[in-house]
């Protein structure tokens, strides 16, 4: 089964010549490659499959999808290595809401 999970881009940086990001999946944070989504900036939601952001989605679609995935705990845990935490009350702001890369 292939599973793409929506997450919010927290930061964007270059690593070994690739655009990389920390992506928040409703409380679980993972690294993802943004090479297929050049329009992705901090604060934007992306669908991530096997470590690659494959498309950009709006926040409402991301939230609906995460709610469905929370109901499918075993599938999500298999993809992320741990279950999604309960839905947060509010999402924390991205590292840089203007899309500027954070300095290291």
pLDDT on residue 93: 60
Structure confidence by residue, pLDDT tens digits, 33-54: 999 999 999 999 999 999 999 9
Strand partners, 20: 13, 33
Write down the pLDDT at residue 100: 58
Return the H-helix or E-strand segment holding 28. Answer: strand 28-33
Name the pTM for this structure: 0.69
- How many residues does the structure list for the chain? 104
Q: Which of 76, 81, 57 is nearest to 6 (CA)?
A: 57
pLDDT tens-digit profile of 51-95?
999 999 999 999 998 888 777 767 777 777 877 777 766 655 666
């Amino acid at each position: 089964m292939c599973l793409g999970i929506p997450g919010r881009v927290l930061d964007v940086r270059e690593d070994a010549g690739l655009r990389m990001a920390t992506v928040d999946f409703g409380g679980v944070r993972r690294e993802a490659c943004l090479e297929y989504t050049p329009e992705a900036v901090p604060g934007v939601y992306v669908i991530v499959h096997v470590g690659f952001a494959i498309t950009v989605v709006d926040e409402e679609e991301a939230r609906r999808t995460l709610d469905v995935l929370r109901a499918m705990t075993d599938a999500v845990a298999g993809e992320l290595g741990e279950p999604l935490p309960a839905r947060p009350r509010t999402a924390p702001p991205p590292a840089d809401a203007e899309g500027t890369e954070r300095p290291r």
